[in-house]
Chains A and B, each alone.
Chain A
């Protein structure tokens, strides 16, 4: 009995041995068709199968937001979603934010406002913010806090992130006509 104590929370994918399921989806604009273990989380699918290592795991239970990606326009924590739930989905990860070798306005503002330090939570923050601004190009501070309150950062004290999000929203409205 004692032995199971620390097996409850697992950081890597463990094969279930079940029959694989064929999964089709779009990730960062690319069509993907793969056979996956039905027990595999979307996070592990992105990292282990698609080798998109930008998406991070920091708790494995949907509490910290480090694994946030955009699925069908909504920010989701990929560590508590099964890969098979993404059948037919459109997914964007941090690797899909820059286009044609040019950083997006959001990424530029994270840099210029110094909205990151160690950088481990950054992809999650960027994706939560991306989904927010896609759905609401002119969020109030309260709306920003409500959405980003689900992402943990231990370095920045959040204030520079708040400034970056405000600035990015403003620039996107002005420069991209959102």
Chain B
């Protein structure tokens, strides 16, 4: 960690408290859904499709059903329920046709694991393998439809646009200005293609749900390793045709999410099994292999960017086409694709631009949200393109970016005018470029000299931006109640799955109420019966929206306290101040009451009480957002932008292709640090996760789109051996006018643009432009061996002489 300590101007906000959930987590006491067992609980096993696409000719379940101990056997014929957050396209059990290798063909609940396992082997399924849709180009030809019912699929109308008789789950568009003119006026027009593969979230706790469906009513009780209890409740109610109050969702500790546990996953299947088993609780847990090949991934993406620029380096126009390989389903994937149309040109002022973003069905494992979704992918394209443009122009890439970055008065892609309150992209870039010691690109001569030593160093940087990707009316709420001892119980319906939100929210409450953070009682465990509504724990929105709700609730609490105290102290509430857990008279401070004295109502010496238990609430809804215009993409999608930049120094071994990351400097304009220790944790975690996408990770499929690397053995994620030599976090604090204490979200942002910065550093080192991820040792070594200056494909098939 950097030695210089962050200094806060506040007593509690900005202080580096230990996380509230830490003690339980270092002693083995924290209970995850994986650890849970309920009385009478059954165990489930699933049979997954052995083909990317096949017709289910017949399923004989008789032998499985006859096995003693089997309580429920389900297949597609037993349920027509479709689920999904934005697009209701996901069948709980495949019927008629399977759509990917992880589609659930049958599921069994039994008294114990052994019986469930044996019963699965007694299922007799006959398949007729069908030609799958392999990739986005094949999908766009629409000769085979992954969903032949696409025209009827229920979806979020006006926000997502499924195309008739196609494999396009949503085609989102934006455009402004005159692009033809822009390219004509440009001195240089450069067009490039960039791509990246699907990758796994790889949370350490795999997806797991336990459901108990009351056989005598519609009641469904769910315990799940999930990010979004209220989204599960709403989707369950909608898909099962029951009321939201029939669905009870409990979230114990969650072993990592990264977006992969947003939306809805194993809960509907466990519900169907519990119902079929007479209401006994059923646990469904993904194995690590299923976590890779059955549960969703980050979509693979291809971006085609055409940019016009003057010889001085001013951008005149950008045309971007993003094609997302969403796999078999796009229930959440469409929202990933949507982000591209308002964020997909990066934090730059471009008056003439158009973006087409298509979320496309294929017969691969399906996709969902993944930390900073849509942004790591589009920024890989845009920030590599910016670097390549600066090479053509022979302008320093720092100067080139500074010339085009958004500044107050400029418009974003969707037409939103940026003000000082949005934070400063250029402050971030300047800070990281300085930290990394950037003095301009390496010359070819320097490169050649270093090359002889076997190791070449390079520096690169990249910008990033992200605003929460969420419906225009997204909201959250908190309830606050004072305990008898003057401590405060704070409840919110959003989940802390490791990001540290409950600690940061407690700090805001403690700051407002002026009591020690230890006096704020807040639990990471959520129960929809008690905790108030929150839309979804995603999008780095929790500190921003939840923080504002906490401030509102705290101020209402203080108002109520002062009303009671005023009566007791025989004065007006406006004469009262509060500090250190006491309410006191501003002119005669000896007239004072402790919070404890009024917590449950004030009691006069004769026993008479006034007031009653102190309780308050606070709500927060996204302010002034609109749906985007379906054709032009103009509107207000961004509750709060957070801008940032990474600068990275690497050393490439030209023999092995191994990229050693020496230093990463990361700056984010987060407005206000709430807890330096937690922000640093998000930065280290996000940067290393980004390095995984940059250097290591990527799905590999066989010719039938079966995942070939569904394990940690073959699908490497970073280990301690892969950490950079140094990560320098830089916090820029231009306050957000409507953020809590001026703060913005930063949970996802550290991951965005890490691959772009690495790619740019690789160019600086080698003089080779890579257009595809990951930049694995073999990709780099093969790239060097190819003798080419642009590497569009790093598969062995693309080696010289193969075509």
A residues touching B (Cβ–Cβ < 8 Å)?
2-15, 47, 52-61, 63-64, 66, 93-95, 97-98, 103, 107, 110-112, 114, 116-123, 126, 144-145, 148-163
Contact = CB atoms under 8 A, between A and B. Distances in A.
Interface stretch (B134-142, B353-361, B684-692, B785-793): B684-692
B28 A52 contact: yes
Nearest to B102: A6
Contact of B719 (A56, A98, A123, A152): A152
A111 B18 CA distance: 6
A122 B256 CA distance: 12
19 contacts: A2-B125, A3-B122, A12-B113, A55-B28, A56-B34, A63-B712, A94-B27, A97-B27, A107-B27, A110-B22, A117-B499, A118-B253, A120-B205, A150-B719, A152-B717, A154-B204, A154-B258, A155-B256, A159-B723
Given A3-B125, A116-B498, A158-B684, 20 more contacts: A3-B120, A6-B120, A7-B121, A9-B289, A57-B34, A60-B287, A111-B26, A112-B18, A118-B205, A119-B22, A119-B253, A122-B26, A152-B712, A152-B717, A157-B684, A157-B689, A157-B723, A158-B720, A159-B684, A160-B681
Interface in B114-167: 114, 117, 120-123, 125, 127
A56 B203 CA distance: 13
Given A59-B712, A117-B685, A145-B720, A64 B204 contact: yes
A157 B30 CA distance: 21
A103 to B, nearest CB: 7
A120 B204 contact: yes
Nearest to A12: B113
B500 interface: yes
Nearest to B34: A56
Contact of A158 (B113, B123, B688): B688
B658 to A, nearest CB: 16
Residue from A14, A97, A152, A157 with most neighbouring chain B CB atoms (10 Å)? A157
Nearest to A104: B26
Contact of B28 (A14, A53, A116): A53
Contacts of B685: 117, 154-157
A37 to B, nearest CB: 11
Interface size range of chain B in the complex:
35 or more
A154 B256 CA distance: 8
A58 B22 contact: no
B712 A157 contact: no
B255 interface: yes
A61 B711 contact: yes
A4 B45 CA distance: 11
A111 B23 contact: yes
Contact of A118 (B50, B204, B285, B719): B204
Contacts of A162: 720, 723
Given A10-B113, A158-B723, A162-B720, A116 B31 contact: no
Contacts of A152: 202, 204, 712, 717, 719
B32 A3 contact: no
Contacts of A117: 256, 498-500, 681, 685
A38 B123 CA distance: 29
B590 interface: no
Interface of A is mostly: loop
B688 to A, nearest CB: 3
Contacts of A160: 1, 680-681, 684
The 9 closest A-B pairs by CB, nearest first: A54-B28, A120-B255, A119-B25, A118-B498, A117-B498, A157-B688, A157-B684, A94-B28, A63-B712
A66 B719 CA distance: 13
B120 A61 contact: no
B27 A13 contact: no
A98 B23 CA distance: 11
Contact of B689 (A9, A126, A154): A154
Nearest to B101: A5
B29 interface: yes
A103 B28 CA distance: 12
Contacts of B29: 54
B258 A149 contact: no
Nearest to B710: A9
